[in-house]
Amino acid sequence: MKSPSATLSLPRFRLHLRPIRMAEVGFLVFLAVVMGLPLLFLLSGSFNLAAPGKPAVYGFGNWQRAFTDPGTLSALWMSFLLSVVRLIPAMILSVMFAWLIARTDMPGGRFIESACWIAYFVPDFPLVLAWILLLDPNFGFLNSLAKSLPFVEGPIFNPYGFLGIVWVHTSTGGIWFKVMLLVPVFRRLGATLEEAARVAGANTTAMLWRITLPVLSPMILAVAVLSFIRGLQSFNTELLLGTPVGIYVYSTKIYDYLQREPRAYGEATALGSVFLFVLAILLFFYWRYLSGNKKFTVVTGQGYSTLRVKLGRWRYAALAGCLLYVAVMMLLPLAFLVIGSFMRRYGFFNIASPFTLNHWYNLLADPIFLVALKNSLIIASVTAIGGILLYSALAYLLVSRRTITAPVLESLCWVPHVLPGILLSLGVLWLFLATPLRFFLYGTVWGIAFALILADSPVTTQAFKAGLLQLGADLEESARVSGASWAYAYRRILLPLLAPIAAAVGLMNFGSALTSISTPVLLYSHQSRPLAILLLEYSFTGELERAAALGLLITLIIGSMMLIARKLGLQLSRSD
């Protein structure tokens, strides 16, 4: 299209591709501004000694202060250490789960898969609260239980600290998402590879160790690296369980800097930039690994496997193990969240009439709660609808094959996928404070929705892209040849066909907007405080029972939305 002899046809470009070119340029500018500028402000802000919005004074003072603070490096180190350590049990368990579900005759595999799907959407903050209710040294239920045993002196469990964080992560983020990613990988493994191993004389164990796992190892490693990078973004658990005992990761450290009076923007930004730099290096190698690895092509073998490993009597043991894990890691904390929300004083089972509805009454009657609920609903709706409009258009542009800048657009919309919420929040904060945007967006629900829409860009765009690719260009083109204008074809053909995806993605983004803490935490004000931040405040002020009620309420809203989304055909776990 761009060969030198095409100079004659240049006017044609102007005449006919103008709308789509304009859309492309528009998107490019928009994405560069909203994704790129926060990053740029983050980097330049780290050299700015003045507070945001004040005349800039450049220097290395922030970096100096950040790195002479012994807490900074230890926070970075702790981020990596935590992310690596909790990855090990999570990977082993999720590979086992995925193998049992996809490759063996374990009964109830579909059920376990659905359980993982649902567990993935249970918001993590209420779960962290629930584990506090269970494990707290003073009032934790399991500790009280243990105390009644002989030879036990004092509390034996303690959620505050390194091991507590690892344990709670195994319950919250832990294995659910990895299982959802790995099950299709195990399912898609060409049956012939395993069958050939069988014919060659391998028993189940030999086949598993010498064929199945080695063949899948690139994919498993990819999932592990992805989880590691996502793990670095964690904020909530570390905030609740690490900060009280002085364990900081970089994200809680940034939060800490910004809670000081006056806010230490400079140090926070410097720390964020360092982390960004490390992250960029990690991502570069991850990307190199993914794109350079030809082994991936083997895995996309043909068809489904009919060969399932027969576990014999062990199949029930396997199922019991899976069920036990789900029960302990998900049902137990959820149950205690319910109990906690109905207890007069949590942990005191022996007082007269220990149970009460008061916390629910107080919560629902609290004017602050009502404002937060309204804020949350506005934020989540705007996020969901805005995301659908913006990213369906972007996906259409990317799929239409007519954009020259598709790779740039594509990588811009992946930025938030790896950018931790707190850094995105910090970058957006800089964007608001240093530009006239602060008059419209700073401290408002719109500003929070803006940041959340950015955070949703990778998944939403990919969902629409996948949908459009699956539909194929033919459906639209045949409408055009049949005589429909672009707008008519879009309205009558593409829109109805994309509606289920839009609804499902919208619900998902609605849900994540409701539960996100790390993204709005630097952007809210008292007028725009959403529910999740209110939950954070309740748990800081020790109103655990009311926090449990609010956490449960949020969980219920999310749960019902996800069930609707699933009915609408959103199938995250099957990529066919």
Separation CA 324–CA 58 (nearest Å): 57
Decide whether 445 or 570 has the Cβ nearer to other proteins.
570
Separation CA 90–CA 71 (nearest Å): 28
Amino acid at 239: L
> Could you say which of 19, 70, 154, 483 contacts other proteins (CB under 8 A)?
483
The answer to whether the CB of 286 falls within 8 A of the CB of 181 is no
Helical spans, DSSP H, in 293-366: 296-299, 314-326, 332-341, 358-365
Token pair, residue 348, equals 């005191």
- Can residue 503 be called a binding residue for other proteins (CB under 8 A)? no
- Can residue 469 be called a binding residue for other proteins (CB under 8 A)? no
Amino acid at 57: V
Binding to other proteins by CB under 8 A, coded x per residue (else -) over 15-54, reads xx--------------------------------------
Decide whether 10 or 149 has the Cβ nearer to other proteins.
10
- Can residue 481 be called a binding residue for other proteins (CB under 8 A)? yes
SS3 letters across 200-259: CCCCHHHHHHHHHHHHHHHHHHHHHHHHHHHHCCCCHHHHHHCHHHCCCCHHHHHHHHHH
- Can residue 567 be called a binding residue for other proteins (CB under 8 A)? no
Decide whether 149 or 481 has the Cβ nearer to other proteins.
481
Burial class (CB in 10 A: 0-12, 13-18, 19+), 512: buried
Give, as one character, the DSSP assignment of residue 309. B
Query: Which of the stretches 216-224, 241-249, 315-323, 483-491 binds other proteins when contact is defined by CB under 8 A?
Result: 483-491
Decide whether 259 or 470 has the Cβ nearer to other proteins.
470
- Please identify which residue in the block is written with the tokens 């800097």: 257
- Can residue 474 be called a binding residue for other proteins (CB under 8 A)? yes
- Can residue 485 be called a binding residue for other proteins (CB under 8 A)? yes
- Can residue 437 be called a binding residue for other proteins (CB under 8 A)? no
Q: Considering the complex, what minimum distance in angstroms separates the CB of residue 391 from other proteins?
A: 21
Buried b (16+ CB within 10 A) or exposed e, 58-81: eeeebbebbeebebbebbbebbbe
Decide whether 261 or 474 has the Cβ nearer to other proteins.
474
Decide whether 11 or 312 has the Cβ nearer to other proteins.
11
Q: Cα dihedral angle (497, 500, 506, 508), rounded to 10 degrees?
A: -140
The answer to whether the CB of 382 falls within 8 A of the CB of 445 is yes
Minimal CA–CA distance to 427: which of 8, 27, 40, 149?
40
Q: Considering the complex, what minimum distance in angstroms separates the CB of residue 395 from other proteins?
A: 19
Separation CA 366–CA 285 (nearest Å): 50
> Could you say which of 107, 246, 472, 569 contacts other proteins (CB under 8 A)?
472
Query: Which of the stretches 2-10, 64-72, 249-257, 315-323 binds other proteins when contact is defined by CB under 8 A?
Result: 2-10
Query: Which of the stretches 458-466, 490-498, 515-523, 553-561 binds other proteins when contact is defined by CB under 8 A?
Result: 490-498
- Can residue 482 be called a binding residue for other proteins (CB under 8 A)? yes
- Can residue 496 be called a binding residue for other proteins (CB under 8 A)? yes
- Can residue 478 be called a binding residue for other proteins (CB under 8 A)? yes
Decide whether 137 or 472 has the Cβ nearer to other proteins.
472
- Can residue 470 be called a binding residue for other proteins (CB under 8 A)? no
Q: How far is CA 423 from CA 35, 109, 276, 409, 451, in A?
A: 12, 39, 8, 21, 11
**Which of helix, strand or coil describes residue 276?**
helix
- Can residue 487 be called a binding residue for other proteins (CB under 8 A)? no
> Could you say which of 22, 25, 213, 475 contacts other proteins (CB under 8 A)?
475
Token pair, residue 352, equals 């007269």
- Can residue 11 be called a binding residue for other proteins (CB under 8 A)? yes
Separation CA 423–CA 254 (nearest Å): 9
> Could you say which of 165, 479, 514, 572 contacts other proteins (CB under 8 A)?
479
Minimal CA–CA distance to 369: which of 525, 552, 550?
550
What distance, in Å, lies between the first and last C-alpha atoms of the chain?
Answer: 33
- Can residue 393 be called a binding residue for other proteins (CB under 8 A)? no
The count of residues interacting with other proteins (CB under 8 A) is 30
Question: Residue 280 CB: number of other CB atoms within 10 A?
Answer: 10
Q: What residues are paired with 309 via a beta bridge?
A: 104
Give the total residue count for the chain.
576
Separation CA 341–CA 549 (nearest Å): 5
> Could you say which of 355, 486, 527, 569 contacts other proteins (CB under 8 A)?
486
Query: Which of the stretches 202-210, 248-256, 467-475, 567-575 binds other proteins when contact is defined by CB under 8 A?
Result: 467-475
Q: Considering the complex, what minimum distance in angstroms separates the CB of residue 7 from other proteins?
A: 11
Query: Which of the stretches 79-87, 161-169, 315-323, 475-483 binds other proteins when contact is defined by CB under 8 A?
Result: 475-483
Decide whether 288 or 492 has the Cβ nearer to other proteins.
492
Q: Considering the complex, what minimum distance in angstroms separates the CB of residue 276 from other proteins?
A: 35
> Could you say which of 304, 348, 349, 488 contacts other proteins (CB under 8 A)?
488
Decide whether 298 or 499 has the Cβ nearer to other proteins.
499
- Can residue 411 be called a binding residue for other proteins (CB under 8 A)? no
Burial class (CB in 10 A: 0-12, 13-18, 19+), 221: middle
> Could you say which of 54, 295, 492, 567 contacts other proteins (CB under 8 A)?
492
Q: Considering the complex, what minimum distance in angstroms separates the CB of residue 97 from other proteins?
A: 34
Q: Which residues bind other proteins (CB under 8 A)?
A: 1-3, 5-6, 8-9, 11-12, 14-16, 472, 474-475, 477-486, 488, 492-493, 496-497
